[in-house]
Amino acid sequence: MALTDTLETSHGTVVDTLKTARIYEHAASIINYDQETICPPKGMEEQGEVQAYLANQAFRLTKDEKFVAAAEDLYAHRDELDPLDKILAVNLHRSYMKTKNISADRNLEFSRIMNQSFVDWLNAKKKADFSIFRDSLSKVREVNLEDVSLREYDEGTGPKPSTAYDALLSDYEFGVTEKDLDAAFGAYLERMTPLLKEIRTRGKKIRTDFLSIEVTDEQQKKMADYLLDLIGFDKERGAFTTTEHPFTDNIGRNDARVTTHYYPKAFLSSMFSIIHEGGHALFMQLQPEADYDHFIDNMQTMGQHESVSRFYENRIGRSEAFIHQIYPKCCEIFPQVFEGVSEKEFYEAVNVAEPSLIRTEADEFTYTFHIIIRYELEKQIVNGGLAVDDRLPGLWNDMYEKYLGVRPANDREGILQDVHWASGFGYFPTYALGNMYNAMYYNRMKQDLDIDRIISEGCFDVLNGWMKDHVFAKGNRLAPKDWIRDITGRDFTPDDFLDYLEEKYTKLYEL
């Protein structure tokens, strides 16, 4: 579509500015990746300052009057634009309305608070002492609330959220509200709570003794390399290393980096975290090239992203077909573990449902309980009624006892286990939404593919091709509810996921 000279000028201004902003963001991502992987402890604060400065330079560019005027001009004439440029214009307008009342200096201060919060969280976790992190967490809450209070809304942004938490949730999962989550999580609790009780009281005994046999870091690295290759991670466009809390970072078009953590007596942890993070990276590596060209390559919501990572980790990675595929390699790499362990015993062990303390190590069945605990706490923290003080760890522990029947012995295995709150609230529910999204598109995939045969034969190019065409293609282009409807032809529902859990775990535990 030919643009008017005025609109062409506005488009050029926006593109030139975003190209420069992308350079700063790229550099900031490198610094962040370094901070969370190999940066020495005493260098972290300085590293955080550099990262905050670089990120703020990108933010400053978007506050420039010429850029704002050009972006708003594109938004006003969005129906005259190329479809992908229209998506960009709408996203830029939404972002502008969020940040128009936040100065670059204030944004830099926000970044510094978040970076200091990460450093304090890391120190607090090492010492298992929430009090070291308490004041930083309180400041993070204040930053989130100030941010929300300064936002503006119009017909292009959608209605003003009814609560502060809804506003923060929209940053991670646009269009999803507390009402949606309350309904989905309520359905989960209603159906899974009694099933968990059945599993614990009447379920068959599953062998897990071999899972704690000690292995070396070198063995785990070999397994991580193998798994990344198997699922189709492109090592020419990505890399991996270790960190305290595994994550994936989309540094650039051809640079998706994943991380894992090695535990000598818990080899499954690294195996499934590398599959999880590899799933994130596949979303990045297989999204449309045109999305990068039009600056919409980071528009996926976290629920969309977590649906993919948890699809590869759980729906694929914990399936009988996948265990059949990797069992020989596991025996080869971990001979001291798998001597006398059958393929069936391995499959059952990776799917054992056992209430535990650590979210990232939780089994597929009980995982959502961990998310609901965090969701209920952070709603109260953000919306009021729950202060960030020394009572918070006890409340956390009480909720673990209520939902899972286990109680943390210290803050490290309790409230300090996750890094997410160091950068704000609203992220955690997306993990559970991801499970529910991928259950829906797994059922859609079954109509086209013999999934078990494809996995057991290691044909991930076929599986990834379907994901590229159906799941990744519009991840940047549609809001989550529209996206899942586009893939499946149905409105969002938690029922596919709940049906899957009931069928799988009733069979596994012979109930």
Q: Which active-site residues does the annotation give?
A: 277
Q: Report d(CA 161, CA 168) in Å as an integer.
A: 9
Phi and psi dihedrals of 313, rounded to 5?
-70, -45
Q: Report d(CA 257, CA 39) in Å as an integer.
A: 16
List the beta bridge partners of residue 255.
Answer: 252
Long-range CB pairs of 414-418 (<8 Å, 24+ gap) are 414/357, 415/130, 416/121, 416/124, 416/125, 416/128, 416/130, 416/133, 417/125, 417/357, 417/358, 417/359, 417/360, 418/245, 418/359, 418/360, 418/374
For 57, 104, 157, the CA distances from 64, given in Å and listed in that order, are 11, 10, 21
Q: Report d(CA 210, CA 477) in Å as an integer.
A: 45
β-strands 238-242, 248-252: how paired?
Answer: unpaired
DSSP code of residue 149:
H
- Closest C-alpha among 336, 359, 330 to residue 227: 330
Contact 293, 248 (CB under 8 A): no
- Closest C-alpha among 184, 187, 181 to residue 165: 181
In 254-342, alpha helices (H): 267-286, 289-293, 302-310, 320-333, 335-338
